Structure 1
Amino acid sequence: MRILHVAHQQLRKYGHNRVSWGQKLYFGLIRNNHCVQSFSDRDVAAFEAPLGIRDLGKKKANARLLQTVEAFEPDLMIVGHCDIIANETLEAARAINPNLIIAGCNNDPLFVPENVDKIKTRVQVVDSMFVSTGVKELGLFEGARAKLWHMPNPVDTSIETFDASASTSLPTDLIFCSKETSYTERGRWVEDLQTQLPKAINFKTPGSFGQPGVWGRDYDRALSQSKMGLNLNRQEGLHWYSSARMAQLVGNGLLTFTHEGGQFDELLPPESLVYFSDYDDLKNKVVEFHQDDAKRRYWASRGREFFHREINSTLYAQYIVEAAMGLPFSHAYVWAENP
């Protein structure tokens, strides 16, 4: 199948970039033997703009996308986080190619009002919309053109390559990486853990309390030196919602602590993720697993194995293609079997 993948490809990061769900989708599409053409809206806008001023290149980026549709003749267009591309441009793409199917993907949280507005705009024109929050939360987008689907945050075999569950001697016992402070009070928990966890627990918090954040290879190295990780979302309790951090931690074999409100026990097997209900529960469970390293490694290995087998980018990409194109599912996707 010929697929046009429109998303921010972070070309101007020159390798010093975040772990990208869009990149994982791109890799998965190729592994499934699709012919994939990428289009990075922000980068094209900057490349085409006078003096490289991106805002001055928005109109040209939309025109270049239509030029790409005409030249590439895709069967499916997948549009991710590409705010520069207007709905009118997607409608014009259909006029160029009347058989074109358009799928939207949104990997940002629904507790951010701006993101809700973005989805409400996109569902008016795309045929399907895939959102990283569970389907139980998607009722506010019903009634538009798009059929609504959940999509997970996957691991990728070429990205999540480390396995902390196989190691007994790593310098960092617990890690939490984040610089985001809007729409959240999780920093209080992290600060309390810093002072209340036993001093024997080496707890690293890159990006918090004035510490520099870690990106790219620095992020990979930080995880590769850690036994356990905190998946503290900016807000908890949304069905099947988590930061992509969870896949990054679990996929690298770190024992991962996440809030029970996300209901990920519906998807993952027992003794894989560690679920907590409140601050004290989290603190006690961190201490428990720190004191029992064999238990830590066993739970972490089960989580890693399950993610790499059932929530990987190859299955994730093929699910999006099959759902968007109205094809029978070729796999019993765990997130599709438990709506």
Structure 2
Amino acid sequence: MGYKVAVIGATGNVGREMLNILAERSFPADEVFAVASRRSQGSEVSFGDHRLKCQDLEQFDFAGVDFALMSAGSAVAKEWAPKIASKGCVVIDNSSCWRYDPDVPLIVPEVNPDAVAGFTKKNIIANPNCSTAQLVVVLKPLHDYAKIKRVVVDTYQSVSGAGKEAIDELWDQTKGIFVTDTPDPKKFTKQIAFNVIPHIDVFMDDGSTKEEWKMMVETKKILDPKIKLTATCVRVPVFVGHSEAVNIEFENEISAKDARRILREAPGVLVVDKREPGGYVTPVECVGDYATYVSRIRDDQTIDNGLSLWIVSDNLRKGAALNTIQIAELIIERNLLKKAA
């Protein structure tokens, strides 16, 4: 007998992607439920060849459900994750709500799978920020080889990371500019079409944004608390796919040739690094793929034991939905949750 899975936030970008990936990967589920807010009750979403009717979160009975894959925002997660977890259902939450709780494991299966056993403390597991997830998948094998001291990362994040309204705003502004309509920023602070915005999430006292802070804190929790990381996070006019320009300083000797070999063998990573025009991956090419792509691997001549590289991944997949489902698969693989009776 398989598992019972509820996808919470099923009408959102990530929720829909979760349903797609559950079907694509033939997740061992006997039943899959689409759960959303009351205003979405009765609306239909796709699950493989089937259509599921959304059920109201406030009325849904989680007793007997094995996994709740949640992508409904921090406020909903804060209120509902403990209630759902108390029913014996494992909550895997995609919001930032539980990431920094010491009793909640923050998991990227390719990086820190052993930490998943800690979910029994609260029956909640946190999924990292989308920009962090793709970064640590690449950092992990390099850290194992040469021990990372410091990371400097600049992100180029697609609008899908800010939800459906952000996608619509880029689409509407892009069309409007061609017919001389004045762009009207609503979701973003400034025009996003044909522009870049160095501002994601709220500003903090030190001048960084919370998105930049998240990358630093989450990398430490997932990979190694001794790693120093500084980030500049930028929203760009791309619909799907986050890119990152990464500079890494190591304690021990490592070359671009070493890194290329290591990353080619790393789980979840694909190296596309031809030193010629077009010999790299861009966001458009990664959409719909599971992998995190690495290109432009090169030695940093300004420091000892330094590398620079380019990382691209589908943020709705590895950055959110795929990682969530991989966590559930990890729990099953390690027999940490008995099958539903």
TM-score (structure 2 length as normaliser) = 0.39
TM-score (structure 1 length as normaliser) = 0.39
Higher strand fraction (1 or 2)? 2
Higher helix fraction (1 or 2)? 1
